[in-house]
């Protein structure tokens, strides 16, 4: 039997100028958030409250410093893969797989104790090791996800998404089982030795170590995309893979390299998050996560996949996130407040990008006539 | 159209252009690559808005700001690449654009109308066929039928016939003549000047964004038109045979090759051939007789089921494209815009993507100076080597590809229709460059082309391909055109 209605989506002949979409998404998204918050609070949270909160959110760089840096790193990692039209939405898994290895190195590895007690040099070595292992773990996790994409042409979106849950699951098992602290009986690991914490300037979340990392990531990603052939092939891959084939480039290899590098960068945040924020892993991780892996997607989209714009987008998102927290603390709207901004911008962005690039047409077929 | 001006960053694409077209005429719009032809019809079709100037339709000023507006005014464009949606049937694709039935389209009625129009083309077609099963020619036909059903009054044809085999082109010309006789207007863009002379009633020549002249066909000769189009360069236009190569020593050897086509079945059935150094080995044939698949298989882009390929005596049957590229093989594919360039990337990026120019790290200064050299040698019209390729005119995009591949071909050039989309003067220039490389650098060239003028001008050896087989091989100086034509279609 034939379906009497068919819907087709066609690309627009004239797409909108590309910077309009992120800008509109932000404005409309905030407007939607204001309406939702107004409704949720039964009229108690006025638009003015929200706007003040947003202003304050932007004006607290000392509080944003760390989440801004993490979001920027994730954003850069995602841009690397998105440029090749490889939609790595497995950031969460890559972060947690990284965090897992960082925690292992810090507390459970054969070398952990001796390095911590090995003076400043030992501590520095252990910190470095945490970061390197975290990155490698993220890379490994993304590399696994790249295989079905490269060899079976399986869409990477569901694959990377599923890998997030597997990573959560593995970490949960460790935290409930062998890594679980004994002193108080909570379902969490012991706290990271204080020597391994990221040092922040007091009263702020600014850590020089994180910023050094961010700068290295930024420069390396820029160099990779601009000056290496895999970087170039990746940028061509997102536009026309046929040209790569005619040129003799191994597309499978490029897909694997791109996702792996993306995971390598994002994995760094795993160690950073443990050493800078939570200082432990606690069960169930999927409820405790800061969701940088997902929020980073919004950062990448808002940056229009331009590396230079990533910090700007990351700052905006970190500020809105911060505004949400401020309002939550002030008692407006409860825990969901934080996600209202992020959610409404993401939805608006998706809607706008669809409207700007595609038109939906519906054909109702009437037999006979 | 009055005083139309359109500027793009770095160029004035159209400079105070005036153009009048009348019902019942076929009006050819001619000009060298980058002259502004496509820009002009895109303005009529609402894709671009002019910076200055007005469009007057039946005595009234109109503003066309989108293709939807254009279609409402009865203006429809057909371009080189069909815009059909693969998973819909022909009828559904056509219904998609039809407003007159609202949401409830009477499918049967539309199907009948499609069949009727197809008959006018002299072909039978089932309107409920899925579009992906259609050949390129059939898709283009559907585009024309759609235009008719949209109630077209002014039909814009931007090189839409360029890729069609010659007999099919004749069918399309007959069809548009019929349309014009019923009072329709056709604005025809093509680089085949003799065909334009044959089909058109009036001709407007554009050069560097300006109208050179609008003439009645009967007032002018082909040479007048060429002079208007190219100025001094028109002297270079000749279809005489270029100096012969000096074939010597075997370079590429293909033995009993069997290659599958896209839809199952063998597209190449036991082809053997030999290309020597210092030789242009040309394959004549109607499109779709296995030439494309043969070249792809040699390039390592399509699996070889049976048979062998040797390059410089080495068995390369299952070698990768990468391997051949590094050996100095240039490749100009079929459907160049789809397989040969990435239009969203810049010119220099489109060059650096060939492995011989960059491995590991990219020396952009080196690539840039190569790009500048190619831009100069091939007269590529672009504001800079860093311009995205999509901002170039159709012919200039082809020049980017052709110049890059000729430069890559230090031993062998494998090419499919290397000069299509190029204007006459440039096409002949490219053939000369190829021939010079073959003679001076002692490379080999394997060129498949549907254009017999091209084949006779450039070839040292001519083979004819038909239904997946080589049905004749001739030394060019002994080949007879009638015989080749006969072998192509028998
Ligand atoms: N979107 C664009 N952005 C910038 N420049 C453009 C754009 N489209 C066309 N141009 C420039 O305008 C000029 C005219 O281009 P147009 O495509 O109209 O040429 P054409 O006559 O159709 O040539 P061809 O025979 O090669 O197709 C060219 O110099 C081209 O580079
Ligand atoms: Mg054009």
To the question of domain B250-489 being in CATH 3.30.1370.60, the answer is: no
Among candidate residues A167, A198, A180, A174, the one with its CA nearest the CA of residue A289: A167
Closest ligand to residue B41's CA:
1
Answer whether B25's CB lies under 8 Å from B201's CB: yes
Q: Are B56 and B137 in contact (CB under 8 A)?
A: no
Nearest CA to ligand 1 atom 12: B13
| A232/B321 Cβ within 8 A | no
The C-alpha of B385 sits at a distance from chain A's nearest C-alpha, in angstroms, of 16
Q: From CA B108, how far away is CA B123, in angstroms rounded? A: 19
List, as one string, the DSSP characters of B92-136.
HHHHHH--TTTTEEEHHHHHHHHHHHHHHHT----TTSBGGGS-H
Q: Tell me chain A's radius of gyration from C-alpha atoms.
A: 22
- Cα atoms in the Cβ-side hemisphere of radius 13 Å centred on B477: 4
Contact between residue B187 and residue B29 where contact means Cβ atoms under 8 Å apart = yes
Using the Cβ of B321 and the Cβ atoms of chain A, whether some distance falls under 8 Å is answered with yes
Residue A300 to residue A207: CA distance in whole angstroms: 23
pLDDT of residue B91: 83
Question: Where do runs of H (alpha helix) occur along B163-320?
Answer: 166-181, 193-199, 222-230, 291-298
- Give me ligand 1 centre to Cα B164, in Å: 23
- Partner-chain contact A361 B349, CB within 8 Å: no
Q: CB contact, 8 Å: B391 with chain A? A: no
What number of other Cβ atoms are within 10 A of residue A21's Cβ?
A: 21
Contact A239 B47 (CB under 8 A): no
Q: Report whether B342 contacts A243 (CB < 8 A).
A: yes
Closest residue by CA, ligand 1 atom 3? B391
Work out which ligand 1 atom sits closest to the CA atom of B37. Answer: 21
B364 touches chain A (CB under 8 A): yes
Does residue B447 carry a pLDDT above 60?
yes
Q: Is the CB of B26 under 6 A from ligand 1?
A: no
Residue B382 has pLDDT above 90, yes or no: yes
Q: At what angle do helices B394-408 and B364-377 cross, to 10 degrees?
A: 120
Within a 13 Å sphere around the CA of A151, how many CA atoms are in the beta-carbon half?
A: 6
Residue whose CA is at the smallest distance from ligand 1 atom 31: B392
**Tens digit of pLDDT at every position of chain A (369 positions):** 345 555 555 555 555 566 777 888 888 888 888 888 888 777 777 888 888 888 888 888 888 888 999 999 999 999 999 999 899 999 999 999 999 999 998 888 788 888 888 888 888 889 999 999 999 999 999 999 999 999 998 888 889 999 999 999 998 898 888 888 777 878 888 788 888 888 888 888 888 889 999 999 999 999 999 999 999 999 999 899 999 999 999 999 999 999 999 999 999 999 999 988 888 888 888 887 888 988 899 899 888 889 999 999 999 989 988 888 888 777 655 667 777 878 888 888 877 777 766 665 555 554 443
Q: Which two tokens mark B118?
A: 């197809």
Mean pLDDT of B153-159: 93
Q: Can you give the pLDDT at residue A369?
A: 34
**DSSP per residue, A203-239:** TS---HHHHHHHHHHHHHHHHHHHHBHHHHHHHHHTT
Q: Where are the alpha helices (DSSP H) in B62-101?
A: 67-72, 90-97
**Cα dihedral A193, A196, A198, A201 in deg (nearest 10):** 80
**Which residue has the least CA distance to atom 24 on ligand 1?**
B33
How are strands ordered across the β-sheet holding B248-260? B266-277, B248-260, B304-311, B314-315
| Alpha carbon of residue A148 to chain centroid | 22
Atom number of ligand 1 nearest to Cα B395 = 26
Q: Which atom of ligand 1 is nearest to the CA of B423?
A: 25
B335: nearest CA partner in chain A:
A242
CA distance A95 to A276: 14
Do B2-235 and B250-489 fold alike per CATH?
Answer: yes
How far apart (Å, rounded) are the C-alpha atoms in residues A182 and A268? Answer: 29
> CB neighbours (10 Å) of residue B338?
15
Candidate from A6, A8, A242 with C-beta closest to B338: A242
| Ligand 2 centroid – CA B195 distance (Å) | 17
Residue written as token pair 């339709």: B57
pLDDT digits (tens, 9 = 90+) for B244-291: 888 888 999 999 999 999 888 899 999 999 999 999 999 999 888 999
Quick one: pLDDT at residue B133?
Answer: 82
Of how many residues is chain B composed?
Answer: 490
Number of Cβ within a 10 Å radius of residue B441: 12
B240 C-alpha vs ligand 2 centroid, how far in Å? Answer: 27
**Residue pair B163/B194 in contact by the 8 Å Cβ criterion:** no
More confident call, B107 vs A114 = A114
Report how far ligand 2's centroid is from the alpha carbon of A318 (Å): 47
Which residues does chain B have within 8 Å of residue A361's beta carbon, measured at their own beta carbons? 96
Cβ pair A291, A346 in contact under 8 A: no
Average pLDDT along chain B: 91
* pLDDT at position A48: 83
For residue B100, is pLDDT > 70? no
Mutate to test the pocket of ligand 1, among B157, B206, B393, B422 (most ligand atoms within 8 A of CB): B393
* Cβ neighbours of B301 in A, within 8 Å: 245-246
Query: Among partner residues A14, A246, A364, which is closest to B333 by beta-carbon distance?
Result: A246
pLDDT digits (tens, 9 = 90+) for B10-36: 889 999 999 999 999 999 999 999 999
Which residue among B392, B395, B419 has the greatest number of ligand 1 atoms within 8 angstroms of its CB, and so is best to mutate? B392
Give the ligand whose atoms come closest to the C-alpha of residue B30.
1
Do B318 and B304 meet the contact criterion of CB atoms below 8 Å apart? Answer: yes
**How do the domains of chain B map onto residue ranges?**
2-235, 250-489
B344 contacts A246? CB cut-off 8 A: no
B415 touches chain A (CB under 8 A): no
B3 Cβ under 8 Å from any chain A Cβ: no
- The sheet carrying B279-284 orders its strands as B329-332, B412-416, B444-449, B279-284, B461-466, B469-475
Tokens of B72: 């409402």
Question: Domain B2-235's class?
Answer: alpha beta
């Amino acid at each position: 039997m034939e379906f009497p209605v068919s819907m087709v989506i066609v690309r627009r002949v004239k797409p909108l100028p590309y910077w309009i979409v992120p800008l509109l998404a932000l404005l409309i998204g905030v407007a939607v958030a204001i309406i939702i918050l107004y409704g949720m609070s039964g009229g108690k949270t006025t638009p003015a409250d929200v706007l003040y909160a947003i202003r304050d959110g932007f004006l607290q760089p000392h509080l944003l410093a760390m989440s801004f840096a993490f979001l920027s790193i994730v954003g850069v990692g995602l841009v690397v893969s998105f440029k090749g039209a490889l939609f790595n939405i497995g950031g969460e898994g890559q972060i947690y797989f990284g965090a897992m290895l960082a925690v292992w190195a810090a507390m459970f590895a054969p070398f952990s104790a001796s390095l911590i007690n090995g003076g400043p040099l030992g501590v520095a070595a252990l910190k470095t090791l945490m970061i390197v292992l975290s990155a490698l773990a993220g890379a490994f996790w993304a590399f696994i996800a790249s295989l079905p994409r490269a060899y079976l042409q399986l869409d990477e979106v569901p694959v990377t998404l599923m890998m997030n849950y597997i990573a959560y699951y593995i970490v949960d098992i460790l935290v409930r089982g062998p890594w679980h602290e004994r002193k108080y009986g909570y379902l969490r690991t012991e706290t990271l030795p204080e020597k391994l914490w990221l040092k922040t300037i007091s009263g702020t979340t600014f850590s020089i170590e994180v910023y050094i990392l961010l700068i290295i990531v930024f420069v390396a990603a820029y160099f990779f995309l601009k000056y290496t052939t895999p970087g170039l092939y990746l940028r061509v891959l997102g536009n026309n893979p046929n040209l790569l084939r005619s040129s003799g480039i191994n597309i499978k290899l490029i897909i694997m390299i791109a996702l792996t590098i993306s995971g390598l960068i994002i994995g760094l945040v795993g160690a950073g998050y443990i050493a800078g924020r939570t200082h432990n892993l606690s069960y169930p991780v999927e409820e405790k996560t800061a969701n940088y892996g997902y929020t980073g997607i919004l950062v990448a989209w808002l940056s229009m996949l331009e590396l230079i714009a990533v910090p700007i987008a990351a700052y905006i998102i970190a500020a809105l996130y911060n505004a949400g927290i401020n309002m939550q603390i002030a008692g407006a709207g409860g825990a969901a407040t934080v996600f209202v901004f992020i959610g409404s911008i993401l939805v608006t962005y998706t809607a706008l990008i669809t409207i700007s690039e595609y038109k939906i047409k519906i054909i109702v077929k009437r037999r006979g006539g | 159209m009055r005083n139309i001006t359109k500027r793009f960053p770095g160029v004035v694409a159209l400079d105070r252009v005036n153009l009048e077209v009348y019902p019942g005429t076929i009006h050819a719009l001619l000009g060298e690559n980058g002259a502004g032809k496509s820009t002009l019809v895109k303005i009529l079709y609402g894709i671009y808005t002019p910076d200055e100037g007005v469009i007057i339709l039946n005595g009234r000023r109109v503003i066309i700001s989108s293709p939807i507006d254009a279609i409402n005014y009865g203006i429809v464009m057909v371009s080189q690449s069909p815009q059909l949606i693969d998973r819909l049937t022909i009828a559904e694709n056509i219904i998609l654009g039809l407003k007159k039935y609202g949401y409830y389209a009477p499918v049967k009625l539309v199907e009948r109308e499609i069949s009727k129009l197809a008959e006018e083309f002299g072909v039978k077609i089932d309107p409920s066929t899925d579009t992906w099963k259609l050949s390129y020619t059939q898709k283009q036909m559907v585009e024309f039928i759609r235009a008719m059903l949209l109630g077209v009054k002014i039909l814009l044809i931007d090189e839409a016939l360029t890729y069609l085999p010659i007999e099919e082109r004749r069918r399309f010309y007959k069809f548009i003549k019929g349309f014009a006789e019923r009072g329709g207007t056709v604005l025809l863009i093509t680089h085949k000047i003799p065909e334009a002379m044959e089909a058109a009633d009036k001709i407007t020549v554009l050069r560097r964004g300006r109208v050179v002249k609008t003439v009645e066909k009967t007032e002018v000769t082909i040479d007048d038109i060429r002079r208007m189009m190219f100025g001094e360069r028109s002297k270079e236009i000749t279809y005489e045979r270029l100096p012969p190569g000096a074939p010597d020593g075997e370079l590429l050897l293909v033995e009993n090759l069997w290659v599958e086509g896209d839809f199952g079945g063998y597209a190449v059935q036991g082809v053997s051939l030999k290309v020597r150094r210092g030789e242009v080995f040309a394959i004549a044939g109607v499109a779709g007789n296995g030439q494309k698949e043969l070249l792809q298989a040699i390039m390592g882009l399509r699996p070889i089921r049976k048979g062998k390929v040797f390059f410089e005596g080495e068995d390369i049957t299952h070698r990768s494209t990468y391997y051949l590229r590094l050996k100095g093989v240039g490749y100009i594919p079929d459907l160049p815009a789809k397989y040969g360039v990435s239009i969203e990337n810049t010119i220099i990026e489109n060059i650096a993507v060939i492995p011989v120019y960059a491995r590991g790290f990219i020396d952009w200064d080196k690539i840039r100076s190569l790009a500048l050299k190619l831009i100069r040698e091939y007269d590529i019209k672009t504001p800079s080597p860093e311009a995205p390729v999509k901002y170039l005119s159709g012919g200039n995009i082809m020049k980017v590809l052709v110049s890059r591949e000729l430069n890559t071909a230090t031993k062998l050039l494998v090419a499919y229709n290397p000069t299509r989309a190029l204007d006459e003067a440039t096409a002949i220039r490219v053939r000369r460059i190829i021939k010079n490389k073959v003679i001076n650098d002692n490379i080999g060239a394997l060129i498949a082309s549907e254009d017999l003028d091209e084949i006779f001008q450039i070839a040292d050896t001519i083979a004819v391909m038909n239904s997946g087989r080589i049905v004749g091989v001739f030394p060019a100086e002994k080949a007879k055109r009638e015989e080749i034509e006969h072998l192509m279609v028998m």
